[in-house]
Amino acid sequence: MSGLIGRKIGMTSLFDENGKNIPCTVIEAGPCVVTQVRTEEVDGYSALQLGFDDKKAKSSNKALDGHFKKAGTTAKKKVVEFQGFEGEYKLGDAISVDHFEEGEFVDVSGVSKGKGFQGVVKRHGFAGVGQATHGQHNRLRAPGSIGAASYPARVFKGMRMGGRMGGDKVKVQNLKVLKVVAEKNLLVVKGAVPGHKNAFVTIQK
């Protein structure tokens, strides 16, 4: 589906007409530049490649500089392809937050916060073992048995254990657009979106 690339600014809250406090996320969405136009004749499918956020010249290479020069723009940090755009777009066109309307629903995807190595209680929601008293020493947040000894004498694949948590690509679906602030390129959506502050996110209709 069509969409834009944005940056997560942070969370806040708004009041609706009934006085209910609604948690929401503020996203800087666009303006995005069309850096490549995919067509059925050449590529076998139709899509637009959009670029967002200027990259320092020293962080780019000649191949990327040449690619963005065709679109008449500078090198971009984030480049994503979108399908489903209506209307004709050409290289160098800018698509702003006006692409979205208040009241419609969007899907937002990004990379979740990295949590490092975590145990099974935090990572998988285990309840912990036993009680905190009655002789229990240090097994409160332990995973318990991970398999029998004599048979099958191994640990099955997929066993939920402690390990690295977070840093995964996550998509949150059907978030309502509460407000579009065109002059500041801001999009306010209901609820939370994945990623830390200033992380890149992709907003799809």
Amino acid found at 99:
H
Quick check: 105 and 174 in contact, CB under 8 A? yes
pLDDT at site 140: 87
Looking at the chain, which runs of residues are DSSP E strands? Answer: 3-15, 21-29, 32-38, 47-54, 76-82, 94-95, 105-111, 116-118, 163-165, 169-181, 186-190, 200-204
Looking at 3.30.365.10, 2.70.98.10, 3.40.640.10, 2.40.30.10, the CATH number of the domain 3-118+171-204 comes to 2.40.30.10
Residue 133 has pLDDT above 80, yes or no: no
Distance, CA of 20 to CA of 35 (rounded, Å): 42
What is residue 46's predicted lDDT score, i.e. its pLDDT?
92
- The ranges assigned to domains in the chain are 3-118+171-204, 119-165
Over residues 169-195, the mean pLDDT reads: 95
Report the mean per-residue pLDDT for the chain.
92
Instruction: Specify the pTM.
Output: 0.84
What confidence score (pLDDT) does residue 131 get? 76
Grade residue 132 by pLDDT with cuts at 50, 70 and 90. Answer: confident
Say if residues 25 and 186 touch (Cβ distance below 8 Å): no
> pLDDT tens across 61-101, in order?
999 899 999 988 999 999 999 998 888 888 988 999 999 99
- What is the tens place of the pLDDT at every residue in 153-181? 999 999 999 999 999 999 999 999 999 99
